[in-house]
Structure formats: C-alpha cells, structure tokens
Amino acid sequence: MSRAPKTKRAPRPSRAQLLKASQIGAQLEALYPETPIPLDHSDHYSLLVAVMLSAQTTDKKVNEVTPALFALADRPELMAQLEAEELLSVIKPLGLAPTKAKNLKRLSEQLVERHGAQVPESFEELEALAGVGHKTASVVMSQGFGHPAFPVDTHIHRLAARWGLSSGKSVEQTERDLKALFPAEQWNKLHLQIIFFGREHCPARSHDPERCPICSWAGSSTEKTRGR
C-alpha cells in the first residue's frame, strides 16, 4: 500500500485558526456522531464505481441507478465485457453519462488487466484508472480501506472558505489547509460530517449566514454580508 501523494504543505495554522477548527469539529461531532457513507455499495468495486459516477450528480441519483447497473454486472470482469452503449442505457440519467460509460468500461478492463480484478489499495494506482481523479481515490482510500484522506467536494470547498479555514482558491489548497488544521485520525469522518452539514444547513444558494449554526459565529463578516 502506498501513501497519499505528497503535496505542497499549507502554512502552519495560527493558534486562533486551530481553536476555531477544534470548535467546528466538536460542533460537527455533536450534530453528526454517526456518518454513514451516502453512496450505496457492497464492496470496494461497487464503492469505486459509485464514487466515479457521482461526479456532477447527486448521491441520491447515483443510488437510484446503481442497483440496475450492478444487477447487470457486479464485478470488473463482467462489466468489462459489456459495451459502453449498454452501460450508457443504464446510467443515462446521470450527468456526463456518455463519458462515464466509457470510463466505467475502461476502468473495469484496467482492473482485470492490471490488478487481478481487485481494486488497488494505492493512491497512485487508483488515480491511474480511467475516470478516477484524486477526490475519487481519496474517498475509496478513506471510506473503503480506512486510510487517512480528506476528499474535498464542492460542499467542503465552499464551507471551508465560508468558515475562514481556507482561501478557497482551489480544492487542492482547501485539502492542504484542512489537513493542517485537523488531526489525521479525524479526516475520514470529518469530511462526511462537513458534507452532511452543508446539505442540511449551509447550501450554496439562499443561505442565511446569521441563521447557520456555524457560519453565524465562524464565518467572516464579508461572508455574512454577502449571504453566500
């Protein structure tokens, strides 16, 4: 098993930033002591596929599509035998479905060709698969294999900026900043807690920072004024 790819380290957080992060973490833990994985899956392969399919699509929509998909083929060697057009007919309701269908077939072929039809327990090998970027690999490594990782999706990227935990310039920067603020043993659970909080309390639009349980005290004055 290889470790996460080395990335440029974030500047050392200030004591105030660490205190804010600790308070946010405690509040999220109180709100979401249990963090079930939102994407339905039964093994590493079905998790990998579900996460790959979730790009530009809600988890709910993915969960509506994957039962029929896995009834058709639930193992890499079976999925690899299907044509992309057949896969597309099943996953058509998802965003970017034509590209995902091609990637799903090629990903399954690569797992058979390179890894004995097993999902690799490595960032480098996962990110070398068709349609698998760093965020997808991070989810599989953290939620599938239990290795510390901090997958950053749009919810986490938005909230980290609102709470003043990151500059929000890029998801890569947000990941570095959050890893510097929170201990590694919290990453896997915390990334789900932030996602749950974003969906329930901190949406992208029509958000009232003054009413938000965290933005109301942790958000910057600029964020509160904008109502972002």
Whether the model pTM is above 0.85: yes
Final residue in a domain of this structure, among 113, 129, 144: 144
Over residues 163-187, the pLDDT tens digits come to 999 987 899 999 999 999 999 999 9
CATH of the domain at 51: 1.10.340.30
107-151 pLDDT tens trace? 999 999 999 999 999 999 999 999 999 999 999 999 999 999 999
Read off the DSSP letter of residue 13. Answer: P
**Catalytic (active-site) positions:** 135, 153
Q: Do residues 140 and 126 make contact, with C-beta atoms less than 8 angstroms apart?
A: yes
C-alpha 142/C-alpha 193 separation (Å) is 14
25 has pLDDT over 50: yes
Residue 73 · residue 99 · CB < 8 Å? no
Cα separation, 122 vs 115, whole angstroms: 11
| Residue 227 clears pLDDT 50, i.e. is over it | no
Domain that holds residue 213: 15-35+149-226
62 located within any domain: yes
Q: Fill in the DSSP letter of residue 164.
A: T
- Name the H helices within the chain: 15-31, 44-53, 59-72, 76-79, 84-91, 97-115, 123-127, 134-139, 154-162, 171-181, 184-201, 215-218, 221-226
Domain CATH number, residue 187 = 1.10.1670.10
- Local confidence band at 5 (pLDDT 50, 70, 90 cut-offs): low
Contacts (Cβ under 8 Å, ≥6 apart) of 224: 209, 210, 215, 216
- Is 54 within the bounds of a domain? yes
- Count of other CB atoms within 10 angstroms of residue 174: 23
